[in-house]
């Protein structure tokens, strides 16, 4: 009689990230990836915020649809931003489109949009038929430098960020810099707070590049923004592929630096604050906590916080005074599972994990920011 069997297996996966300009033009990245994937049908999904403000891109998309006969039906347009994640409407419409258009596991979903739409569509494509290949075309700075490159997909539930979701890598990610032109200023800068985050932990030269180019970045210098986003995306990609924990089974999540406060603040502000701004404030909180804990020199903290401010980010918010903010620490632990693990900073490229955070330290840190 056999009592038990432990049989291990592993799956080889290539994470494809392409940096592009006009990715939908003939013979460019989208054509090449589709040639490689050979999908039976393609369902195209578009962020309404992009659809409404970037007629130039809509023409390019229409031209591509005109010559790619596997694209079925109309483009599915979803509301942009957190509206696509705060209920299951967006997820349901993608699932309905998958059904109505006969999209199968040998087909593909191609989504163009900000991080929120990518999250909702990525979740839908993962659960529809237990997994339909996904090509992500992130259209915001934040999604090109950070979220679009990752393996996480999900939507909010019970008012909590990303409460339901899956770890599921896309077939490919295509960062097309020409999409960023139509972004409003708040979302133009948003990718920079995540870039500062990853630079602080992993790449001081990138931090210095952002510092050196802060004025140009604020004034929408596309080449300088692309340079920062490419480095940020590459650092994120390498963290996923070489960090040894792509599906976050372990407790440490270095890329969530500043995020316990950021996520709670987004909820307390009724999602009226962008993720990029919330991350800047969350970073400021944890940097000030690092000083209050005696880990980080005040001079370095001030240098980082003044860079965030120079880039146009807020580093404070009235909801930081809300005592409910502190619930964010326990919610973060629950979302992670296991022991609380928060990242603090001892210096550039010197992250340190802590497993408890005294509320008085947080209050002291917030006091400094108000
Ligand atoms: N999955 C992950 O690993 C991960 C990581 C970080 C953040 N996120 C999530 O990403 C979301 C934030 O994403 P975001 O910062 O990309 O913003 P967003 O998706 O909220 O989009 C911001 C706004 O810009 C509009 N928009 C998108 N592209 C545009 C364009 N090119 N021109 C004009 N308008 C455009 C959208 O319609 C929306 O109104 C949050 O929900 C956050 O939790 C996920
Ligand atoms: Zn983030």
Mutate to test the pocket of ligand 1, among 15, 55, 58, 81 (most ligand atoms within 8 A of CB): 81
Mutate to test the pocket of ligand 1, among 15, 80, 175 (most ligand atoms within 8 A of CB): 80
Look up residue 262 and give its two tokens. 């950021």
54 lines ligand 1 (CB under 6 A): yes
Q: What is the pLDDT along the chain (370 residues), one digit of tens a residue?
A: 889 999 999 888 899 999 999 999 999 999 999 999 999 999 999 999 999 999 999 999 999 999 999 999 899 999 999 999 999 999 999 999 999 999 999 999 999 999 999 999 999 999 999 999 999 999 999 999 998 999 999 999 998 888 999 999 999 999 999 999 999 999 999 999 999 999 999 999 999 999 999 999 999 999 999 999 999 999 999 988 887 777 777 666 778 899 999 999 999 999 899 999 999 999 999 999 999 999 999 999 999 999 999 999 999 999 999 999 988 888 888 877 778 889 999 999 999 999 989 999 999 999 999 8
- Fill in the DSSP letter of residue 177: G
Quick check: 290 and 348 in contact, CB under 8 A? Answer: no
Domain 16-182: assigned CATH number: 3.40.50.1970
Look up residue 11 and give its two tokens. 């799956």
Other beta carbons within 10 angstroms of residue 67's beta carbon come to 9
In terms of DSSP bridges, do strands 342-347 and 350-354 run parallel, antiparallel, or are they unpaired?
A: antiparallel
- C-alpha to C-alpha distances, 339 to 20, 46, 240, nearest whole angstrom: 41, 39, 22
What pLDDT was estimated at residue 73?
85
Closest alpha carbon to 54 in 190, 179, 188, 140: 179
Q: What kind and span of H or E run contains 160?
A: strand 160-167
What pLDDT was estimated at residue 252?
66
143 lines ligand 1 (CB under 6 A): yes
145 lines ligand 1 (CB under 6 A): no
What pLDDT was estimated at residue 184?
95
143 CA: nearest ligand 1 atom: 16
- Fill in the DSSP letter of residue 33: H
How many CA atoms within 13 Å lie on the side-chain side of 227? 16
Q: What does the alpha-carbon distance between residue 184 and residue 170 come to, in Å, rounded to a whole number? A: 27
**C-alpha of residue 355 to centroid of ligand 1, in Å:** 31
Indicate where the chain has its CATH 3.40.50.1970 domain(s). 16-182
Q: State the DSSP string of 59-116.
A: HHHHHHHHH-TTB-SSPEEE--GGGGTSSSHHHHHHHHHHHHTT--TTSEEEEEE-HH
- Going by alpha carbons, the residue nearest to atom 25 of ligand 1 is 49
**C-alpha of residue 50 to centroid of ligand 1, in Å:** 11
Quick check: 192 and 311 in contact, CB under 8 A? Answer: yes
3-state secondary structure of 143: helix
What pLDDT was estimated at residue 278?
97
Place of tokens 């199968």: 104
Indicate where the chain has its CATH 1.20.1090.10 domain(s). 186-369
* 109 phi and psi angles, rounded to 5 deg: -110, 130
- Homologous superfamily assigned to 186-369: Dehydroquinate synthase-like - alpha domain (1.20.1090.10)
The pTM assigned to this predicted structure is 0.93
| C-alpha radius of gyration, the chain, whole number | 21
CA torsion 234-236-239-241 (nearest 10°) is: -70
How many CA atoms within 13 Å lie on the side-chain side of 139? 27
Q: What does the alpha-carbon distance between residue 356 and residue 354 come to, in Å, rounded to a whole number? A: 6
150 lines ligand 1 (CB under 6 A): yes
Q: What kind and span of H or E run contains 284?
A: helix 275-292
What pLDDT was estimated at residue 160?
83
């Amino acid at each position: 009689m056999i009592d038990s069997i432990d049989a291990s297996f592993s799956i080889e996966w290539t994470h494809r990230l392409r940096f592009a300009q006009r990715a939908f033009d003939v013979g460019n990245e989208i054509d090449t990836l589709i040639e490689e994937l050979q999908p039976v049908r393609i369902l195209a999904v578009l962020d309404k915020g992009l659809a409404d403000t970037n007629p130039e891109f809509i023409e390019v998309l229409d031209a591509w649809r005109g010559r790619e006969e596997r694209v079925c039906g109309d483009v599915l347009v979803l509301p942009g931003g957190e509206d696509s994640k705060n209920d299951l409407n967006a997820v349901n419409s993608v699932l309905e489109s998958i059904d109505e258009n006969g999209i199968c596991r040998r087909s593909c979903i191609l989504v163009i949009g900000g991080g929120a739409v990518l999250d909702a569509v990525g979740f839908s494509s993962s659960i529809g038929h237990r997994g339909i290949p996904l090509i992500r075309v992130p259209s915001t700075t934040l999604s090109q430098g950070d979220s679009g490159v990752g393996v996480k997909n999900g939507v909010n539930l019970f008012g909590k960020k990303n409460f339901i979701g899956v770890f599921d890598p896309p077939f490919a990610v295509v960062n097309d810099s020409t999409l960023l032109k139509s972004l409003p200023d708040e979302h133009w800068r948003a990718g920079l707070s995540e870039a500062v985050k990853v630079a602080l932990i992993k790449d001081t030269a990138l931090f210095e590049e952002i510092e050196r180019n802060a004025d140009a970045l604020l004034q929408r210098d596309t080449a300088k923004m692309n340079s920062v986003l490419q480095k940020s995306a590459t650092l994120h990609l390498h963290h996923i592929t070489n960090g040894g924990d792509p599906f976050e089974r372990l407790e440490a999540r270095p890329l969530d630096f500043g995020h316990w406060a950021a996520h709670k603040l987004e909820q307390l502000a009724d999602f009226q604050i962008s993720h990029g701004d919330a991350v800047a404030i969350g970073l400021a909180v944890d940097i000030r906590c690092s000083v209050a804990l005696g880990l980080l020199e005040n001079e370095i903290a001030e240098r980082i916080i003044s860079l965030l401010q120079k880039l146009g980010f807020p580093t404070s918010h009235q909801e930081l005074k809300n005592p409910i903010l502190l619930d964010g620490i326990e919610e973060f632990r629950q979302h992670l599972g296991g022991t609380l693990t928060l990242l603090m900073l001892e210096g550039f490229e010197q992250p340190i994990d802590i497993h408890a955070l005294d509320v008085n330290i947080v209050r002291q840190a917030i006091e400094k920011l108000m």
